[in-house]
Amino acid sequence: MIKENLNEVKEKIKRACERAGRSYDDVTLIAVSKTKPVEAVREAMEWGMMEFGENKVQELTFKYEQLPKSIHWHLIGHLQRNKVKYIIGKTSLIHSVDSYRLAEEIHKEGQKHSLQVPVLIQVNAANEESKFGISMEECIPLIEKTAKLEYVSIKGLMTIAPFVENPEDNRQYFKQLKQLSVDIKTKNIDNVSMDFLSMGMTGDYEVAVEEGATHIRVGTGIFGERDYSQMN
């Protein structure tokens, strides 16, 4: 099933790229394996996947230990400052930096290990109460401040769009995030690149790719529905 799902998702990404005149190679598909067993990750690896996303530190570190170190792990969920120490050196990208205090903690831990930690700034594009992330307005000031932290390397922006029936409803937010990243890029801030734009999930990744996503985070579309009743 994972194989067929992966093929379908990749096919849809390709077609979205064609519609937008983009190169398929510019889009990284992250398989969101949260709540799924390590066997599911292994199976996806057999079909060529190397990028996996987790939203909890504990689950990421558990799978990190169980699975080949060649995997690129993406932390896509909210990160508490006291948990930064557990994931330093284990993530290829932290998608969820949403405060200066969190960035400072990452800097501190990065410095300890002499590691420059690649991160994205999480923006709550639709200003939803229930979601983490900073507002569009707070984004540039936060980036300007965070850019001075030597061991934090800002690579771009991330957003979690609202849950909608019609993915077209999220196009506006993807457009806004893309525009914001262009605005930031033109500022040429030292230690900041805006090469990455992490947006789009199972319900809306095609629209996100059309609007310039470089990283899409797909869980259900690859691994099937999640069963939270098994989790503690």
| Binding interface with ligand PLP (CB under 6 A) | 32, 34, 55, 76-77, 160, 201-203, 217-221
β-strands 93-97, 72-75 pairing: parallel
Q: Report in angstroms the alpha-carbon separations of 160 from 23, 121, 167.
A: 23, 12, 13
In angstroms, what is the minimal distance from the CB of 66 to ligand PLP? 20
CB of 198 to ligand PLP, least distance (A): 8
Are 29 and 10 within 8 A, CB to CB?
Answer: yes
Q: Are 160 and 123 in contact (CB under 8 A)?
A: no
Tokens 């700034």 correspond to 121
Decide whether 212 or 219 has the Cβ nearer to ligand PLP.
219
Taking the C-alpha atoms of residue 148 and residue 143, their distance in angstroms, rounded to an integer, is 9
Smallest distance, ligand PLP to C-beta of residue 229, A: 16
Q: 3-class SS at 195?
A: strand
Closest approach of ligand PLP to the CB of residue 133, in Å:
10
Which residue lies nearer to ligand PLP by CB, 66 or 220? Answer: 220
Phi-psi region for residue 162, left (φ > 0), alpha (ψ -120 to 50) or beta?
beta
Identify residue 71 by its one-letter amino acid code: I
- Which among 158, 114, 106 is positioned nearest to 132, based on CA atoms? 158
Q: How far apart are CA 36 and CA 39, in angstroms?
A: 8
Q: For ligand PLP, which residue has the nearest CB?
A: 219
Would you say 32 or 84 has its CB closer to ligand PLP?
32
Minimum Å distance from CB 202 to ligand PLP? Answer: 3
Question: Taking the chain, what is the end-to-end CA distance rounded to the nearest angstrom?
Answer: 26
Q: Which is nearer to ligand PLP, 112 or 135 (CB)?
A: 135
Can you tell me which residue has the tokens 């998702």? 9
For the bound state, the minimum distance from the C-beta of residue 189 to ligand PLP, rounded and expressed in Å, comes to: 25
Tell me how far, at minimum, the Cβ of 81 lies from ligand PLP, in Å.
Answer: 19
